[in-house]
Amino acid sequence: MNRKLFIALALILIFCCQTLAQTGIKKKRPLPYEYGRVVIDNYSADTDLSPVVFEHWIHRAKFTCRVCHVDIGFAMKTGGTGIKATDNARGFYCGTCHNGKMQNEGKAIFAACSRNASAGDQKRCIRCHSLGQKVASDYDFFKFSEPLPKERFGNGLDWEKAEEMGLIKPIAHLEGISSAKSALALQKDFSLNPKVEGMPDIIFSHRKHTVWNGCELCHPDIFMGVKKGTSRYSMVDISEGKSCGACHTTVAFPLMDCQRCHSKPVHP
């Protein structure tokens, strides 16, 4: 066997084994409608309410990542925000939108937590405090995804194409909450060389990422971004949720989809 090809295959094997070792072989791959699900459970256990289930797919179809993770200020880590019922009731975090007033497709978005919940409110509470509860959802993933372009992993959808085709129109600005759009110049796309023979280069598109993320989701927390070449990448770091893996293991298409990143044709 070609020696370089052998090295490339060996590396892939190491990478895959490490990923398996880290995630545990028994952990099953999330189904398309489970991918991006976040269970928020810092305080619910101390109350008689169930933990909160937050679905990225419902929300990212309507809003850009930036609206929530920069303007509203949700952490990029499960439980990292430390959301309290009073925050929500005062119009922060979930309550920014879930306030019973903000309109979505012609109806008011149901309100989040309130202190003196009547029996009638209970039904509303469990729409979010829903882990292990039987709740009727207004959203059916299969119906939602039917008209959208498909991909193989994650939510099984090509979110970018869906946005380009105008099938989803994520809102990028919330009146009174989002700061003025950053006027920073768009950066050029670039490619990264994995330094392994036979492994295609990675093409990174600033333009495409900025549609969803703005700049602040990546700079400076995930990438310093002052100058290309400052960040060092490796597949092991990425699979541990660092650098590109901050999003591409949980919400954006997952690492299984090798060729969507390693996409530059290899020339012999």
Site for ligand HEC in 20-59 (CB under 6 A): 38, 40-44, 47, 49, 51-52, 54, 56, 58-59
194 touching ligand HEC, by CB under 6 A: yes
Which is closer to ligand HEC, CB of 32 or CB of 243? 243
Q: Which of 168, 166, 165 is nearest to 155 (CA)?
A: 168
Contact between 248 and 238 (Cβ < 8 Å): yes
Site for ligand HEC (CB under 6 A): which residue of 186, 265, 267, 268? 186
Q: Answer yes or no whether residue 74 interacts with ligand HEC by CB under 6 A.
A: yes
Residues within window 206-265 making contact with ligand HEC, judged by CB under 6 A: 206, 208-210, 212-213, 215, 217-219, 222-223, 225, 227-231, 233-236, 238, 243-244, 246-248, 250-253, 255-258, 260-262
Cβ atoms of 215 and 184 closer than 8 Å:
yes
- Judged by CB under 6 A, does residue 70 bind ligand HEC? no
Q: How far is CA 240 from CA 19, 112, 191, 237, in A?
A: 8, 33, 22, 5
> Does 127 sit near ligand HEC (CB under 6 A)?
yes
Taking the CA of residue 259 as centre, how many other CA atoms within 13 Å lie in the half-sphere pointing to its CB?
5
State in Å, rounded, how far the first CA of the chain is from the last one: 16
Nearer to ligand HEC by C-beta: 167 or 256? 256
241: left (phi over 0), alpha (psi -120 to 50) or beta: left
